[in-house]
Amino acid sequence: MKFLDHLEEWLVTFLMGGATLIIFVAVLHRYAAGMAIPGVQDWLLSISMSWAQELTIIMFVWMCKFGAAYGVRTGIHVGVDVLINRLNKQNRGKFVIFGLCAGVLFTGIVAVIASGFVWENGAHHFWLNLLGRSVEGVPEGPTTPDLEWPTWMVYSAIPLGTSLMCFRFIQVLVMFVKTGDLPHHDHGHVDGLEVDPDDPLDNPYAMADNLHPRDLHHSLEGKTRHHDATDGSQSK
């Protein structure tokens, strides 16, 4: 399971870095080929980079699908929880569990439907041919325009990424049932900057203003500080 802990980061980092490098090389090639340099220009024009745009689009699609799974694991997906945060601890927990179960159901359905589509789009032919079985009557499936890759390989990002997303929903659900904690991503966090977890101004999850997310373990009583908009004073 430790291999899956940072799978999304590895994939997204590789895909983003690779796509950026390909775009840089393609742009550099385009401008350099337009320069009248004897010998070099002819050599650059003989190199076709027409596949670069298609490949980067494919890489960004895969990056988005696995990035969505990363968002579930780290809690960075946008959610509207103003009403849920106004409920008591018990009822709030029930709604959180319902939402996570809905996420598991939705991503599971999408993964199953997408898997069937990929299978019928050429994956069936590929695996039968790989195993030495008869492929008579089984469609080979279309290919991409520039790279001429089987499209089922490209579309595999949907069942694979959504399946991982479903798995992350299950992980978050199990963790919430056991501990009552949800993954939180603090966009204002700066590595190396220490904060006081008991200070509600440093801990947004402890603020009772219905504008900040919070989990079931942060008490709100006696911890809210209000800023006076007129004189800037603080009171506990």
Q: Give the chain's count of helices (H) and strands (E).
A: 9, 2
Tally of CA atoms within 13 A in the half-sphere of 24 that contains its CB: 6
What is the pLDDT at residue 211? 54
Residue 225 pLDDT exceeds 50: no
In contact, 161 and 66? CB cutoff 8 Å? yes
- Per DSSP, 227 falls in state E
Whole-angstrom distance, CA of residue 196 vs CA of residue 127: 56
Chain segment 168-224, per-residue pLDDT in tens: 999 999 998 988 888 876 655 555 556 565 555 555 555 555 555 555 554 544 444
Interval 88-104 mean pLDDT: 89
Residue among 97, 77, 101, 72 at smallest CA distance from 87: 97
Which three-class secondary structure state does DSSP give residue 190?
coil
Per residue, the 3-state secondary structure of 147-174, as one string, reads: CCCEHHHHHCHHHHHHHHHHHHHHHHHH
Residue 233, pLDDT above cutoff 60: no
Residue 95 CA to residue 82 CA, distance in Å, equals 12
pLDDT tens readout for residues 29-78:
888 888 877 878 888 888 888 899 999 999 999 999 999 998 898 888 87
Q: What is the mean pLDDT of residues 151-172?
A: 94
The residue ranges of every structural domain in the chain are 6-184+203-217
